Structure 1
Amino acid sequence: MVGTSAEFDTLLELCQEQHRRIVLAVLASEKRSLTVNDLTKTIIKHNHHTPLREISSEESRRIRLELHHVHIPKLADQSLVEYDQERKLVEPTSRLDQLQPQLSAIIDADPVLDPLVAL
C-alpha cells in the first residue's frame, strides 16, 4: 500500500506512460518473470492493437529499446521490478504486490487498454 503522498505521486508519475502501465499490469497479473521480448509483444498487442506479424521490425525494435533503456530502469529505480539486463529478464517485486490495489485503480481507468491487461 502507498504510505505517503510522495509515494502516491511517484506511482502516478510512473503510470503516466502507457507502456509502463501495461508492463506493471502484466507483471502484477502474471506474478512471474517475463523477458523484455515478452513485454514488447504484450505492448504491441494491447497498445498498438496490431497482430505481431503486421508490425514492422523497426517499430518492435523501438519499443524493445525504450523498455530496456527507459521504462524498465524507471520501474527498477522505484523497486517495483528487478531487471537482469544480461538475460533481459524483468521480475515483479513484493513492492509491486503491495501497490497492486492502487495500480488496479489506475489501470482500470485507462480507456484505451484492453480488459485483458487489467489486474
Structure 2
Amino acid sequence: MDGAPRPRSSGGGDALARSSIIGDLRQRRVLSLLLDRSPLTERELAVRLLARERGLAPAAVSETDLDPVQTDLRHRCLPQLEAVGWIDRCPDGVVLDERPTFESVTPSPPDLRTPEDPAWDAIGALLARPYRADVVTLLANRDRDTTVADLVTALRERHTASALPEDDRSLRISLHHVDLPKLASTGLVAYDASARTATPTPRLTAFVDRIDLDN
C-alpha cells in the first residue's frame, strides 16, 4: 500500500444522493435486478425485489405484501435513481440508463450483482465526501492512533484534486463531527471523540486491499 496517491474528483452535486443510494441495501438490490434484466415494469421489479428480500420464488410473492414495496419504489427508490441519472423510463418499463461507476473513490468496487456485500456500506460513506477515501488510506498505513490535527496536516500534503474544506479549522470540525464518526459507523476505524484520535480496525486494511484503494 505504498503507491502514489491518485487524484480524486469531488463527486459533483450528486455525491450525497449517490452516497445515500449506495448505502441503501434496497436501492442496491434494485440496481442489481436491473443489471440482470432491463427493462422491467414497476410491478415486475417489485415482485423480483420482494422475492430477493425474502428468499422466495417470484411466484410465491403475495399481492398483500407487494403493495408497500411498490409504493416505496414509486415514491422513493425510483425517483432517487432517476434523479442521479442511473435509471430511465421507457414504454416497456424501467431501464438502467447509466451503469453506476465509483472512480471517485475506488477503481475496484464489488460487483453490483452482490448488493448484500458489506463493503458497499463503506463505499457509500466514501462517496458522500471522496476525500474520506484519503482518510481511510492514510489510517490504513498507520498502526497507531492518529489525531485529527495530524490528519489535517496529512490531507493537505496529500491532496491534489478532490475538494477539502477551505481552511484547517473547517476541516478539523468536519473530521471530528462528521467524517470520522461516519467511518467509525462502518467499522473501518475506531474514533475516540474525547481524545480526537482515530485508530485503524482489522477490517480497514482488508477493505483497502480488497478494493484497491491505495493506488
SS of residue matched to 1:5: coil
Deviation at 1:100, TM superposition (A): 2.5
Question: Which residue does 1:54 correspond to in 2?
Answer: none
Q: 2:199 & 2:170 partners in 1: Cα distance?
A: 21
Cα deviation for residue 13 of structure 1 reads: 1.4
Partner of 1:67: 175
Give 1:107 deviation, angstroms. Answer: 4.1
Query: What is the aligned partner in structure 1 of residue 144 from structure 2?
Result: 32
Q: Following superposition, which runs of at least 4 residues in structure 1 exceed 4 angstroms of deviation? A: none
- Normalized per residue, which structure has more helix? 1
1:10 to 92, 96, 121: 121
For structure 1, the 5+ residue unaligned runs are 50-57, 109-119
Structure with the greater alpha carbon radius of gyration: 2
What residue identity is the alignment partner of 1:45? E
Cross-structure match for 1:92: 200
Query: Structure 1 residues 35, 15: CA separation in 2 closer, same or farther (over 3 Å shift)?
Result: same
Number of equivalences: 97
Identity within the alignment, %: 30
SS in structure 2 of the partner of residue 91 of structure 1:
strand
TM-score of the two chains, using structure 2 as the length reference: 0.41
The CA deviation at 1:8 is 2.7
Structure 2 gap segments, 5+ residues each = 1-109
- Measured in 2, the distance between the counterparts of 1:95 and 1:68 equals 21
When the two chains are superposed, the root-mean-square deviation of aligned CA atoms in Å is 2.1
- Tell me which amino acid in the other structure corresponds to 1:67: L
Matched residue type, 2:123: L
Higher relative contact order (CA 8 A, sep 6+): 1
Structure 1 residue 44 and structure 2 residue 156: aligned? yes
Q: Cα deviations across residues 7-59 of structure 1 (Å, max 9, x unaligned)?
A: 1321221222232111100111122210000001111111268xxxxxxxx71
Matches of 2:192 and 2:177 in 1, distance apart? Answer: 13
